[in-house]
Structure 1
C-alpha cells in the first residue's frame, strides 16, 4: 500500500503537471470506487468539466484535489492505486478507473488493479469527515518527541498502551500516513522491537522513535518512495528507497549494522521485520 512518502511523491510530482490547466472532461470507469461521496457517479463528468485544479495536498495517505470553484476530489490509493500522466493518443493502461482530460493534450490516468482505493466528490465548503479521524501529521513542525509521548500515554489511551508498538504506529487515528514499511524501519532506527507493548516502551525510547519516524519518512520522500510491486511515480518510474531499507522485506538477510539475520513476525495480521540484536 502506498504510504506517506509514496503519496507525498505523487502530490509533489503532479502539482507542476496538472495545476491551473483547464479540464475538458473526466470519466469514471469504475463507479464502485466512488465511496461515501456526497456527489454521485452520475454527476462525475459535470463536476470537472471546464474547471481547473488549483491545489493538491496530502493528508495522511489521502490526496485532496481542489478545483477553482472550491469543489474537492478526495482520493485514496488503497493497495494498488496510482495516478499517471499521459498524452492524448497514448494507449489506455490496464485497470483504468478514472481519467481526466486537459487542454493541450494532457491526460491524467487513475488506475487501481485491486480496486481497494476510493474516490469521493465534495461540493464547495463541504466537510470531509474521514480527514477529521486522522491523527497527527508526522512531518508537521510541531510533531516531535513530546507529541509522540503524549499520544501514546494520553488519557483514555489504555487500549493503545497494551498493544504492540508496531501496530500502534499503523493506527491512522494516532499518526497519519505511517504504514508497515516505515513503522518497521523507524523502530529499527530507534532500537525498539516491534512486538514490545507500547506500555513497556519507556520515555527515552519514545523520544528516539519520534525523530526516527521523521528521518525515515523524509529520506523515503527524497528517494521518491519504495517500490516492491505496484507503486509507481507519475511518470511510471519506480521509487528507489527499497535499496536503503534496513529490515523491511529482508527476512533471513544479515542486519546491515551487526550482521544478525533479520527476523519477521506477524502482528495484527501484518508482517513486521526487526533485528533481534539491534532492537530490544
Structure 2
C-alpha cells in the first residue's frame, strides 16, 4: 500500500499539473471506487466545471480542493496509483485504469488499481474535519501537530510498537515499510509494547520516523510492487532499505541476518542483535 512518502510524492507531482485545471468529464466503469452507486452514476455531472484549486494530503489520503467548495478525497489503498496520461508508456500501466479525469486543457489524470480497493469521496470542505474524525484519523506523522510529546502520548499503549505504528488512529501515514525502517534506525524491537518504551526510546523512535519518512519523500517513494509516480516512473527508496523485505540478508550495522516475524498478522523485519528485546 502506498504510504505517506508515496502519497506525498503523488501530491507534489499533481500540484504541478492539475492545480488550476478545470474538469471536463470524469469516466469510470468501476462503481466500487465510489462511496455509493448514486455517486458513481453521477460523478461526471457532479464534478463537471469544477476547477482544482489546490491539492493536499492527510495521512494516506489525497485531497483535491475544488472551486465549488467541495473536496474530492482519494485513498489509493493497496494497489492504486494516479498517472498522467503522458506517463503511460507501456501496456502494463494502461491495463488497470479504473477512472479518468479529463480536463478542459486536454490533459487526463488516470487512476490505476489492480485490486479495485481504491476509494473516492466528495466531501464539503467545512465537513472535512468531521470526515476524518469519523475515521478516528490521528495527526499526520509529518504534520506540525504531530510533536514529539503527541507521539509519545499516542504510542503509549499496550500493544506491540510495530502494530501501533501501523494504526492510523495512533499516527497517520505510516505503513509496513517505513515502520520497519524507523524501528531499525531507532534500534527498537518491533515486539516491544508501546507502554514499555522509555521516554528516551519513544523520542528516538519519533526522530527516526521523521527522518525515514523525509528520506522516503526525497527518493520519490518505494516501488516495491504496484506503486508508480504520476509520470509512470518508479520511486527508489526500496534501494535504501535496511530492514523491510531483507529477510536473511545481513544487517547494515552488525551483519547479523535480518529476521522476519509476523506480528498481529503483519510482517516485521528486524535485526535480533541491534534490536534486541
Same fold (TM over 0.5): yes
- Residue 226 of structure 1 pairs with residue 218 of structure 2: no
Query: What aligned pairs does 1:126-141 form with structure 2 within 5 A after superposition?
Result: 126-127=127-128, 129-132=130-133, 133-141=136-144
TM-score, normalised by the number of residues in structure 2: 0.92
2:248 aligned to which of 245, 252, 275: 252
Q: 1:32 Cα deviation (Å)? A: 1.3
Report how many aligned residue pairs link the two structures: 272
| TM-score, length of structure 1 as denominator length | 0.91
Aligned partners of 1:189 and 1:127: how far apart in 2? 35
Partner of 1:58: 57
Please tell me whether the aligned partners of residues 185 and 247 of structure 1 are also in contact (alpha carbons under 8 angstroms): yes
Unaligned stretches of 5+ in structure 2?
Answer: none
Structure 1, residues 202-261: CA drift from partner, whole Å, max 9, x if none? Answer: 111111000101000000000000011100000010011011110000000000111010
Contact 1:8/1:58 (8 A) holds in 2: yes
Q: Which residue of 2 aligns with 1:158?
A: none
Correspondence list, 1:66-81, <5 A: 66-81=65-80
Q: 8 Å contact 2:155–2:161 — kept in the other structure?
A: no
Distance in structure 1 (CA, Å) of the matches to 2:77 and 2:35? 12
In structure 2, the residue matched to 1:269 is 265
Q: Is the 8 A contact 1:84 1:235 kept in 2?
A: yes
Are the aligned partners of 1:145 and 1:209 in contact in 2 as well (CA < 8 Å)?
no
Secondary structure at the aligned position of 1:209 is classed as helix
Which residue matches 1:240? 236
Q: What is the CA–CA distance in structure 2 between the aligned matches of 1:84 and 1:213, rounded to whole Å?
A: 28
Distance in 2 of aligned mates of 1:247 and 1:36: 40
User: Residue 43 in 1 paired to residue 42 in 2?
Assistant: yes
* Cα displacement (A) at 1:126: 3.8
**Which SS does the other structure have where 2:163 is aligned?**
helix
Cα distance in 2 between the residues matched to 1:270 and 1:66: 34
SS in 2 for 1:74: strand
State the Cα deviation string for residues 82-114 of structure 1 (Å, max 9, x = none): 100015x99892222111111232111011110
Q: Any gaps of 5 or more consecutive residues in structure 1?
A: 154-160
Shift in Å, 1:124: 5.4
**2:160 aligned to which of 141, 164, 171:** 164
Residue 163 (structure 1) shift: 0.9
CA distance in 2, matches of 1:123, 1:214: 31
1:178 to 2:174 alignment: yes
Cα deviation code 1:14-71 (max 9, x no counterpart): 011011022211112211111269x722220112212211111100100111111112
Q: 1:226 to 1:125 in 2, by over 3 A?
A: same
Which shifted more, 138-147 or 48-57?
138-147
Q: CA RMSD in A?
A: 2.0
The 3 A distance-change label for structure 1 pair 204 and 60 is: same
Deviations 1:116-157 (Å, cap 9, x if unpaired)? 12111224544464412211222123433322212233xxxx
Q: Is the Cα–Cα contact under 8 Å of residues 63 and 74 in structure 1 kept in the other structure? A: yes
